[in-house]
């Protein structure tokens, strides 16, 4: 292979070049935010190829999304002179690479050739059935909790026996151990794995089969792991085993950006790497190419308060830039109004919607921003909602495909056996499961031969019609015929008509989603032919669907403001970032604080991630009071804000100035009904008077001393009127409720003569 004239070393600083060219032995790269780690990773692969140290098939490069894997491949391709692309079979996500190993040796892993991969919903469905069989209430033991516990156990390489032994004195977890045991038995019966099993089974495949381990050790001369701080124990053990022969394990990550502890990520993997590999080379990438100096100084000031971290300090050659804008809002509505106003101002200076991001701790915080942005005509997009392949109607069609692929897939079988409705009820399903367990046969075999069993006599015809349909569909389980399979599923099931008749309001939307699934099949088939010269098989399609994530999907190139959680923002960058809801109990969350130092440090890392998303301007906003779970409560400024040096803060961004301590609040109503007010506890009709939300309400329409009526607080007198950051503010001294501070636009005040 030859490389283009532009040298691999171009545009690399000293430490980046060291990381690219240090090809022998274990290497730990501590890559700070915005320090160019993807560039280092791709250049290192290109360098290995240029030096003839390995062939593309001998490089194992692990990323955490398919999108990131494709990006790495494309960047390496760009360095090559040849027109044809180099095939990298082992650049991908940990799950896709482990799955490839398991497909090579299914029987050694304890499975049959056509094993299935269950997604989260399928997993929960099986767990729920296990709990029913064990007579365990899902109210006492929520399915999500049980699923999480099983995942954690697998991440820590604990089978159900080991999990039970480790929690012998914990009543709750002892019950989970019983569910875990039955769940694994069922999954083996179904010839299925969940996502955690992909990793766990790969670990034991390598550990318990020396010839297989040695085979893969021989293949992988170089192993590169991206986002190493997000790996769990099981994943780390796999990488360590595979690297034993050639010793060339290259890991890149940032312990300060380890924010996925709730998913099983173990920051100790990166913190303890030097102990596991004492001869490793440690390289720190501390030059940030993203943000202005003040933003980095703020980030460094916050993260240095963590104890469990590798010492490093981000620096930049960029100028100081703007100070950090800290704004104290009245409440969540004022917070959203302020953000919208600031965006409008910056757009007048040349910024576009795509330059802005609003980042929050919880998804529930998005609601008010959606409302205000719509009112202000600001284009936005919410990230983190329900993904396409997770929608009910799409999963229904996919379930038919999965049963066609493997009739052992009980979770999918029972999802569709009466979907659309065909008169096969829960009682029949329970009888099928009971007979299958007794006869040691698959549930589908019982369905197919229902006429042989007296217990199923009443439903035998319906079950036979269903199995005949599946057998007919199985004829299309041929590479290149997925479109025909899809068409026949729709034709034979009548699922289109079912959704239209079932849901008048959303049926058509569901049908549109089902139609979009065919587009996915067509696109994926084209890609398979172009990239690999082969027709798309049902197996490949189902695997790609299961492994897909929101982060992997290409977004439209529309100009929109990004609204998302801090977790979703990792790896992204924006010219202007608004960190909202920076209050104790919200960020850091109450849950994290209850977990002690460990939980608080992960929250601080999350704050660090949020700060370092900003390139030009950073806003940090907190509220005086906030309504959560239907209750309005006073708020305390987040400790993370207090950790930013005062000299970095723009003190001009304050909501209250001299009025801070007056105990204000404000409220608004969403009802479109006429305002009804009371006086002395009795309804009062005030004809001919307008509320402050009608037409265009202006400050000059009111005067200090005016008597007004409010739907919630009753009568009062206007104490003060003033402008604050483009908003008309009114202070009212209510007779019964005291002084309240409100945005005039939303106050719905009625003047009383």
User: Catalytic amino acids?
Assistant: 37-38, 226-227, 257, 613
Residue whose structure tokens are 């609003």: 358
Cα distances (angstroms) measured from residue 567 to each of 15, 119, 307, 452: 28, 21, 21, 54
CB atoms within 10 A of CB 429: 18
Contact between 621 and 580 under an 8 Å Cβ cutoff? The reply is yes
Q: d(Cα 508, Cα 505) in Å, to the nearest integer?
A: 8
What is the CB-side half-sphere exposure of residue 8 using CA atoms within 13 A? Answer: 26
Contact between 665 and 623 under an 8 Å Cβ cutoff? The reply is no
The two three-digit tokens of residue 93, written as one number? 């996500």
Contact between 419 and 510 under an 8 Å Cβ cutoff? The reply is no
Which region holds residue 157: left if phi is over 0, alpha if psi is between -120 and 50, else beta? left
Residue whose structure tokens are 């701790």: 361
Q: Which strand (E) or helix (H) includes residue 741?
A: strand 738-743
Contact between 257 and 299 under an 8 Å Cβ cutoff? The reply is no
Do the bridges between strand 649-650 and strand 677-679 make them parallel or antiparallel, or are there none, so unpaired?
unpaired
Interhelix angle 120-133/171-189, nearest 10 degrees = 110
- Which of 527, 654, 640, 549 lies closest to 593, judged by CA? 640
Cis upstream peptide for 588 (omega within 30°): yes
Output phi, psi for 394, to 5 deg. Answer: -70, -45
Q: d(Cα 524, Cα 486) in Å, to the nearest integer?
A: 14
Strand order in the sheet with 249-253: 91-93, 59-63, 222-225, 249-253, 27-31, 281-285
What is the CB-side half-sphere exposure of residue 142 using CA atoms within 13 A? Answer: 3
Cα distances (angstroms) measured from residue 562 to each of 371, 613, 703: 15, 12, 40
CB atoms within 10 A of CB 368: 19
Q: d(Cα 744, Cα 703) in Å, to the nearest integer?
A: 12
The two three-digit tokens of residue 132, written as one number? 């029913």
Contacts of 672 (CB under 8 A, 6+ apart): none
Per DSSP, the three-state class of 490 is: helix
Do the bridges between strand 649-650 and strand 324-329 make them parallel or antiparallel, or are there none, so unpaired?
parallel
């Amino acid at each position: 292979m030859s490389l283009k004239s532009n040298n691999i070393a171009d545009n690399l600083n000293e430490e980046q070049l060291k990381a690219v060219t240090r090809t022998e032995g274990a290497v730990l790269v501590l890559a700070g935010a915005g320090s160019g780690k993807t560039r280092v990773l791709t250049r290192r692969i290109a360098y290995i190829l240029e030096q003839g140290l390995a062939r593309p098939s001998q490089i194992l490069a692990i990323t955490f999304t398919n999108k990131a894997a494709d990006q790495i491949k494309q960047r390496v391709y760009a360095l090559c002179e040849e027109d044809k692309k180099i095939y990298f079979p082992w650049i991908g996500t940990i799950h896709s690479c482990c799955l490839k190993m398991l497909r090579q040796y299914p029987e050694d892993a304890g499975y049959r050739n056509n094993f299935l991969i269950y997604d989260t919903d399928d997993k929960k469905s099986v767990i729920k059935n296990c709990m029913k069989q064990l007579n365990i209430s899902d109210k006492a033991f929520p399915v999500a909790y049980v699923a999480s516990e099983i995942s954690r156990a697998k991440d820590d390489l604990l089978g159900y026996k080991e999990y039970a032994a480790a929690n012998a004195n914990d009543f709750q977890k002892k019950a989970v151990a019983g569910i875990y045991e039955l769940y694994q038995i069922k999954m083996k019966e179904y010839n299925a794995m969940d996502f955690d099993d992909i990793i766990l089974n790969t670990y034991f495949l390598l550990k318990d089969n020396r010839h297989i381990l040695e085979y893969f050790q021989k293949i992988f001369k170089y192993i590169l792991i991206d986002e190493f701080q997000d790996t769990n124990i099981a994943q780390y053990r796999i990488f360590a085993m595979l690297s034993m022969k050639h010793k060339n394990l290259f890991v890149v990550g940032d312990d300060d950006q380890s924010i996925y502890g709730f998913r099983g990520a173990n920051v100790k993997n990166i913190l303890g790497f030097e102990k596991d590999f004492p001869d490793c080379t440690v390289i720190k990438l501390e030059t940030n190419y993203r943000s202005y100096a003040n933003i980095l100084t703020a980030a460094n000031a916050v993260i240095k308060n963590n104890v469990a971290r590798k010492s490093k300090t981000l620096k930049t050659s960029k100028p100081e830039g703007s100070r950090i804008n800290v704004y104290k809002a009245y409440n969540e509505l004022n917070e959203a109004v302020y953000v919208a106003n600031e965006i409008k101002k910056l757009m007048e200076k040349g910024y576009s919607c795509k330059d802005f991001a609003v980042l929050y701790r919880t998804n529930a915080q998005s609601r008010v921003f959606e409302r205000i942005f719509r009112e202000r005509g600001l284009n936005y997009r919410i990230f983190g909602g329900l993904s396409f392949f997770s929608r009910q109607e799409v999963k229904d069609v996919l379930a038919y495909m999965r049963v066609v692929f493997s009739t052992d897939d009980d979770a999918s079988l029972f999802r569709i056996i009466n979907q659309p409705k065909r008169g096969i009820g829960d009682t029949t399903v329970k009888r099928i499961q009971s007979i299958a367990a007794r006869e040691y046969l698959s549930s589908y075999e019982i369905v197919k031969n229902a006429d042989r069993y007296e217990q199923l006599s009443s439903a035998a015809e319906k079950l036979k019609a269903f199995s005949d349909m599946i057998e007919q569909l199985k004829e299309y389980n041929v590479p290149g015929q997925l479109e025909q399979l899809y068409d026949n599923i729709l034709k034979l099931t009548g699922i289109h008509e079912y959704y239209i008749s079932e849901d008048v309001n959303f049926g058509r939307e569901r049908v549109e989603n089902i139609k979009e699934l065919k587009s996915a099949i067509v696109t994926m088939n084209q890609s398979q032919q172009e990239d690999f010269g082969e027709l798309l098989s049902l197996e490949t399609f189902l695997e790609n669907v299961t492994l897909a994530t929101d982060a992997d999907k290409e977004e439209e190139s529309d100009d929109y403001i990004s609204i998302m959680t801090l977790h979703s923002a990792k790896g992204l960058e924006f010219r202007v970032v608004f960190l909202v809801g920076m209050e104790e109990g919200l960020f850091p969350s109450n849950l994290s604080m209850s977990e002690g130092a460990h939980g608080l440090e992960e929250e601080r890392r999350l704050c660090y991630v949020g700060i370092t998303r900003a390139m030009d301007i950073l806003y940090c906003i907190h509220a005086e009071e906030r309504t959560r779970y239907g209750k309005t409560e006073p708020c305390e400024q987040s400790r993370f804000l207090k950790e930013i040096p005062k000299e970095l803060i723009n003190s001009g961004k304050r909501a209250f100035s001299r009025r801070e301590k007056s105990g204000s609040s404000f409220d608004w109503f969403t009802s479109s009904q006429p305002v009804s007010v009371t006086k002395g506890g009795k309804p009062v009709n005030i004809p001919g008077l307008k509320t402050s939300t009608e037409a265009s309400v202006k400050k000059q329409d009111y005067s200090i001393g005016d008597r007004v009526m409010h739907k919630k607080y009753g009568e009062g007198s206007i104490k003060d009127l003033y402008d604050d950051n483009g908003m008309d503010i009114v202070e009212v001294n209510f007779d019964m409720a005291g002084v309240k501070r409100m945005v005039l636009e939303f106050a719905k005040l009625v003047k009383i003569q």
